[in-house]
Every structure is written in C-alpha cells, then in structure tokens.
C-alpha cells in the first residue's frame, strides 16, 4: 500500500502555483484585527523558512500560531496540512485540509489530501466521498497526488463492492507502465469480487490475489488459465478468467454469476474480517431475511432482520436492509434512524444495492429537512447513465428548494408546475455538485424567469453566487428571498456571512441579530454574530454568542476554533486552550450530523 512518506516525496512547503490564489490574504488591520501586522508577518515568514528547512515540528507550531490570527490564510492551512501529513499526523492534517476545502472548495488537490487523511484514520465513507470529489474537480500539476488518490479511491470502490469502478481508476496507479505490487493486489481483489481492503485479506491468499491482479490488469489469458487450474476451488477465479478473455477479445458473451459474498469472505478474508462480516450465530435467520426481502415480503424480512441485528448490531448492511423494509412499509421515521446507523457502520453489497440504499437514505434526509446531508448522500447514488439518475435529480431538486417532502408527493400534488420546477432545480443541483457554475447560472436565470416567487430559489442562486465570491449579486438574491420568505432566517444568515467576508462588521452584526429575531436557536446566527463582534473588538459580547453557539452545536469544530480565539482575546488562556483541544478532538472524527456553520 502507498504510505504517507511515499506521497510526501518533494513535500510542498508552498501551495502549487495558482491553485490557492490569492495565496495569502491582505495583511492589513482588517485581516489581522488587533494583532500586530509586523509580528504576524515575521512569524509567517519564519514558519515558511522552517518548513523549507525541514524543521517540521517548529514549522507546525509556528503555522498554528499564525493561523490563530489569520484563520482565512489558505496557503498556511495547506502548508500546515502537508507538514502534518508528512509526519503521519493524519488526524491533525485532516483538520487543516478541512479548513482549506472550506476556503477553496473547487480545488481537487485539497479534496484528495483530505480523502487520503480520512482513509488513514479509517473514516472510509468520507474518504470515498472526498476522493470522488477530487476526481470530479481534477487534480492540478501533481502526478503523485493524482496517482495515490486514484489508487486509494480504487480500494474504497472495492470495499463498497463497486468492482467495475475500481478497475476504471486503478490504471492511474500504474507508474510509467509498471504495475506495483500494491496495484496488482487491488486489481486482484476487484477481479475476484472480494469486498475487502488489503489489510483484511487472509495472508495465505495474498499471493493468489496478487497473481490474479497481475494477469487481469494486462489481460494475460494464459497466465489466468494456469491460476484456474492450480486453484479450482477459489471463488470467482473462473469469473475473473472469463472476463479476462472477454476484455482481450471484446467478447460480450454472458458471464457466470459471482459467488455469494459469504463464500467469498470465508475463502479470502482474515479472521477479523470474517468475524466483522458474519457476526456470531443466527445464519439461518439471516438467510430467511434475505429470502423474504428478495421476495418483497418486507414485513417478514423486517422481523428476521431485527432478530439477527440483536446479535449482530455492528453490520451496516443489515441495518440498511431493515431501513429499506421500513421505507417500503412507509415507516419513514424508523427507516431514517436505521439508514443513519448503516451510514455510520458502512455497507457491503452490490453497487446497485448500495445506490438504492443511498438514494432512499437521501430521500429520507430531504423529508426530515437535513438538506446539506441529503445532497452529499444523493451525490454518491447518482451516476449519469444509472437507473436512479432521474430519481436522484428529483430528490436533489426538492433539497435545493428546501422542500421537506418525498418525491412521491410531486406526482400527487395539484400544482402542474411542480414537476418542471423541481426537475429543473435537480439538474441545477447536479451541476453545482460538480462546481459547474458557468453551466448552472444560465439555468438558474431561466428558472427564475418562469418561477420568480418560488420559495428558496433565489436563496439557492444566491448561495451559488456566494461560492464564486460574487458577493454583491448574492446579496441581491438574498434580499429578494427575504421578501418571498419573510419568516425564514436563512437569507439574513447569508447576508451576515457576506458582510463578514467583506469585513463590514456593522452590517454583519445587524443581519445576524435580525436572523436571531426570526430564530433564536439558530446556531449559525449566533456563530456569525460572535464572529462579527470579535472582529469589531467587542470581545465580551462575542464570547457570549459563541458560547451559546457551542452549546447549541457542541460538535462543530468551527465554533470551538473561534471561541478559542475569543477567549484568547479576552485574556482567558485556560479556556482558550480547552477550546483548542476540543477543536482538535472534534476534527479527528467529526459526526456527519454535526450542524454546519459557514467558516467565513
């Protein structure tokens, strides 16, 4: 497997040219607030020099000190993350790269580094999502990051049972036409339909899997035939042989079915992986549940799944099946609870089954008003030519318009324009997920001409404009949304965020306060008001609002980061240190359900 030092050869001490431009924000009084400009600039230059001189620990310490004063310094967070990554401090590096993607969300290189950190810390679902994002955006001017991230994306596709996708990205891991042992092993896992990471493979099977990968990657039919003859009982080896012939000859003849996952894991997995996938006892109950589910008898399947999960509570696939059974019976609240649990544990199944579970989960997140989470989940279920593509777009349209409904309600509704509005919104949402703003903006304008008073359509357009720093246009859209949705605090929150980014603290405070009048429990409103007060030098009031935000959303790293800054300015060093520690701990394993706040 590629190691961190392998990636860190030629460690970047400054960001690649043009990737994070402008690399360093203005060092005027607005950017540094009360800190001395000369002291901060001196410390910044010292950190750069230490990084270039390989004084890694000193550089990390000084970057952290500078970033307390310059939290929007993109290049600083990048350099800090690279230094921590090269020191195998993956959880710390993850924190730094999370800051960079918040500040530069259209840079594929940073998403790749974030995904690699998450892979190393075992947060595989997020790693898959973020490495896919990196691939969609593209990785600029760094073949090493592109190669290593493609390899790890391939491993994560294998783990999730998306074997064909794995073989489309693994060739990027070939170096000058040479296939490394790591890539051969990964290719073998994909060819043999083994949903395991290399660390979970039985060591006694490693040589066979690597040989299969070496033969399959170059379509060596003779070598594969010899392996089949020597290992007649190896599950899916005949299938790998047939597909090698088909790939060489472009033969589309029908192939044999893959062996059941249970038999594959029994043969290829190590002891720990077998235990994790099967769990103790109850195999007859599990088999009966699968049969009932396949037959569409969801009520019977639900009964057996609950019995089986009582003895095997750590199997994400079973929780997903239970959630799907409950969804089919319109038990939506319990379905969401159980799909939530499946998402935390992970799921191993066919690509089609995984996509269906993710789609259903995303739909239920929309229904519950968890729109940001829904967008992330639905993005992983949509493939341009997939069977679920149009259904996913419809769900994304509901999410973009912040309509807490199921897609089925559109067909049942009496408004004939709903399908057009939501379908068009869904197509825009897909473009936004891939940062294709130039294509999305004309569609936004055309849709607004047809539906100028559609709730939250102006809000969605303004949010997209904000992502590309079109602050004045974004503010105009938020003002229109205020008139359409006067009871919602969201446009006021965005106006406060825009004002804060433009260092207009007076208007930031005004808009955040108005948002709090509409929703006193708005986490983001308290957070933004605290940020604005802090920038204005009203430290005591800033501490009060940031403390409220921290109580309302204790799992938000951003809040604790800025509360630490506020405590430091209020001369409360012990509390400041405690908040810094909390910030670091939260970023080691940030829950998906943690409410998001605008880092700006």
Say which CATH class 487-588 falls into.
Answer: mainly alpha
Please determine, for residue 16, whether its predicted confidence score (pLDDT) is greater than 60: no
174, HSE (Cβ side, Cα atoms, 13 Å): 15
Q: DSSP letter string over 144-207?
A: HHHHHHHHHHHHHHHHTT-HHHHHHHGGGG-BTTBPPHHHHHHHHHHHTT----GGGB-GGGHH
Please determine, for residue 25, whether its predicted confidence score (pLDDT) is greater than 70: no
Q: Is the dihedral of CA 358, 397, 409, 336 positive or negative?
A: positive
Name the strand (E) or helix (H) holding 68. Answer: helix 56-69
Determine whether 28 is exposed, middle or buried from the number of CB atoms within 10 Å of its CB (0-12, 13-18, 19+): exposed
Instruction: Determine which of 106-110, 506-510, 582-586 has the lowest per-residue pLDDT on average.
Output: 582-586
Q: Provide the whole-model pTM.
A: 0.57
Please determine, for residue 146, whether its predicted confidence score (pLDDT) is greater than 60: yes
**pLDDT at position 17, please?**
45
Instruction: Report the pLDDT averaged over residues 364-368.
Output: 96
In the chain, DSSP finds a helix count (H) and a strand count (E) of 34, 0
| Whether the domain at 1-142 and the domain at 487-588 fall into the same CATH topology | yes
Angle at 140 between CA 138 and CA 142, to 5 degrees: 120
**pLDDT at position 47, please?**
78
Nearest to 82 by CA among 43, 40, 107, 112: 112
DSSP classification of residue 259: P
Please determine, for residue 412, whether its predicted confidence score (pLDDT) is greater than 70: no
Three-state DSSP class for residue 175: strand
Question: Higher pLDDT residue, 40 or 121?
Answer: 121
Rounded to a whole number, what is the distance in angstroms from the first to the last CA of the chain? 37
Instruction: Report the pLDDT averaged over residues 519-527.
Output: 94
For the chain, give the number of residues: 600
CA distances from 69 to 18, 32, 36, 373, 536 (A): 24, 6, 10, 31, 14
Three-state DSSP class for residue 201: strand
CA distances from 587 to 60, 121, 147, 323, 546 (A): 17, 11, 26, 29, 18
**pLDDT at position 282, please?**
53
Instruction: Report the pLDDT averaged over residues 510-532.
Output: 95
Cα(344)–Cα(232) distance, integer angstroms: 38
Q: 552 with 516: CB under 8 angstroms?
A: no
Instruction: Determine which of 25-34, 299-308, 428-437 has the lowest per-residue pLDDT on average.
Output: 25-34
Q: 67 with 73: CB under 8 angstroms?
A: yes
Confidence grade of residue 13 (pLDDT, cut at 50, 70, 90): very low
Cα(396)–Cα(376) distance, integer angstroms: 10
DSSP classification of residue 199: G
Q: DSSP letter string over 172-185?
A: GG-BTTBPPHHHHH
Fold of 280-340: 1.25.40
Please determine, for residue 1, whether its predicted confidence score (pLDDT) is greater than 60: no
Q: By percentage, how much of the chain surpasses pLDDT 90?
A: 54
Kindly report the average pLDDT of the chain as a whole number.
Answer: 85
Cα(426)–Cα(420) distance, integer angstroms: 10
**pLDDT at position 277, please?**
56
**pLDDT at position 336, please?**
94
Instruction: Report the pLDDT averaged over residues 146-156.
Output: 93
CATH architecture of 1-142: Alpha Horseshoe (1.25)
pLDDT per residue over 339-354, tens digit each? 999 988 887 777 778 8
> Which positions ≥6 away from 65 have C-beta within 8 Å?
43, 47
496, HSE (Cβ side, Cα atoms, 13 Å): 28
Cα(556)–Cα(218) distance, integer angstroms: 48
Q: By percentage, how much of the chain surpasses pLDDT 70?
A: 86
Please determine, for residue 275, whether its predicted confidence score (pLDDT) is greater than 70: no
**pLDDT at position 479, please?**
97
Cα(302)–Cα(285) distance, integer angstroms: 11
Confidence grade of residue 281 (pLDDT, cut at 50, 70, 90): very low
**pLDDT at position 416, please?**
65
**pLDDT at position 462, please?**
96
Annotated domain spans of the chain? 1-142, 174-277, 280-340, 350-476, 487-588
pLDDT per residue over 227-248, tens digit each? 999 999 999 999 999 988 888 8
Nearest to 400 by CA among 423, 368, 426, 378: 426
Please determine, for residue 73, whether its predicted confidence score (pLDDT) is greater than 60: yes
Cα(174)–Cα(140) distance, integer angstroms: 18
pLDDT per residue over 469-496, tens digit each? 999 999 999 999 999 999 999 999 999 9
**pLDDT at position 574, please?**
93
Please determine, for residue 3, whether its predicted confidence score (pLDDT) is greater than 90: no
> Which positions ≥6 away from 281 have C-beta within 8 Å?
311
Cα(157)–Cα(493) distance, integer angstroms: 38
Ranges of beta strands (E only) in 421-579 are none
Q: Is the dihedral of CA 515, 516, 517, 518 positive or negative?
A: positive
Please determine, for residue 126, whether its predicted confidence score (pLDDT) is greater than 90: no
């Amino acid at each position: 497997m590629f190691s961190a030092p392998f990636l860190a050869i030629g460690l970047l001490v400054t960001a690649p040219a043009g990737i994070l431009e402008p690399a360093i924000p203005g060092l005027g009084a607005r950017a540094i607030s009360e800190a001395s400009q000369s002291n901060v600039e001196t410390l910044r230059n010292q950190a750069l020099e230490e990084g270039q001189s390989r004084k890694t620990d000193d550089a990390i310490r000084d970057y952290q000190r500078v970033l307390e004063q310059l939290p929007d310094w993109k290049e600083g967070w990048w350099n800090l993350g690279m230094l921590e990554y090269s020191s195998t401090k993956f959880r710390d590096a993850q924190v730094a790269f999370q800051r960079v993607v918040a500040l530069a969300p259209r840079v594929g290189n940073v998403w790749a580094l974030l995904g690699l950190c998450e892979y190393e810390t075992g947060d595989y679902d997020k790693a898959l999502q973020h490495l896919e994002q990196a691939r969609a955006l593209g990785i600029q001017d760094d073949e090493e990051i592109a190669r290593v991230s493609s390899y790890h994306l391939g491993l994560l596709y294998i783990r999730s049972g998306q074997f064909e996708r794995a073989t489309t990205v693994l060739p990027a891991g070939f170096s000058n036409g040479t296939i490394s042992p790591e890539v051969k092993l990964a290719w073998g896992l994909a060819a043999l339909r083994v949903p395991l990471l290399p660390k979970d493979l039985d060591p006694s099977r490693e040589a066979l899997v690597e040989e299969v990968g070496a033969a399959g990657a170059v379509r060596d039919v003779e070598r594969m035939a010899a392996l089949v003859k020597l290992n007649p009982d190896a599950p899916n080896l005949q299938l790998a042989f047939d597909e090698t012939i088909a790939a060489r000859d472009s033969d589309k003849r029908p192939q044999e079915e893959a062996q059941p996952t249970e038999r594959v894991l029994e043969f290829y997995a190590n002891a720990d992986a077998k235990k994790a996938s099967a769990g103790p006892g109850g195999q007859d109950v599990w088999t009966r549940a699968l049969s009932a589910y396949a037959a569409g008898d969801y009520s019977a399947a639900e009964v057996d799944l609950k019995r089986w999960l009582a003895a095997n509570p750590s199997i994400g696939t079973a929780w997903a099946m239970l959630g799907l059974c409950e969804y089919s019976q319109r038990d939506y609240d319990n379905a969401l609870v159980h799909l939530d649990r499946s998402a935390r544990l992970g799921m191993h199944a066919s690509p089609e089954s995984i996509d269906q579970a993710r789609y259903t989960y995303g739909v239920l997140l929309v229904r519950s008003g968890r729109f940001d989470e829904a967008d992330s989940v639905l993005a992983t279920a949509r493939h341009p030519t997939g069977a679920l593509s149009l259904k996913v777009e419809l769900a994304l349209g509901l999410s973009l318009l912040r309509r807490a409904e199921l897609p089925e309600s559109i067909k049942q509704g009496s408004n004939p324009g709903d399908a057009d509005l939501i379908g068009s919104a869904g197509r825009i949402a897909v473009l936004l997920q891939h940062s294709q703003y130039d294509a999305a903006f004309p569609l936004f304008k055309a849709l607004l001409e047809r539906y100028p008073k559609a709730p939250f359509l102006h809000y969605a357009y303004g949010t997209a404009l904000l992502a590309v720093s079109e602050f004045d246009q974004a503010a105009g859209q938020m003002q229109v949304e205020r008139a359409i949705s006067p009871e919602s605090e969201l446009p006021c929150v965005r106006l406060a965020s825009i004002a804060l980014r433009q260092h207009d603290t007076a208007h930031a405070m005004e808009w955040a306060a108005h948002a709090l009048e509409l929703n006193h429990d708005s986490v983001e409103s308290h957070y933004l008001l605290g940020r604005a007060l802090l920038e204005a030098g009203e430290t005591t009031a800033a501490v009060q609002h940031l403390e409220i935000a921290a109580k309302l959303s204790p799992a938000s790293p951003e809040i604790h980061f800025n509360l630490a800054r506020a405590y430091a300015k209020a001369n409360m060093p012990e509390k400041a240190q405690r908040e810094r520690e909390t910030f670091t701990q939260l970023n080691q394993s940030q829950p998906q359900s943690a409410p998001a706040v605008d880092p700006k």
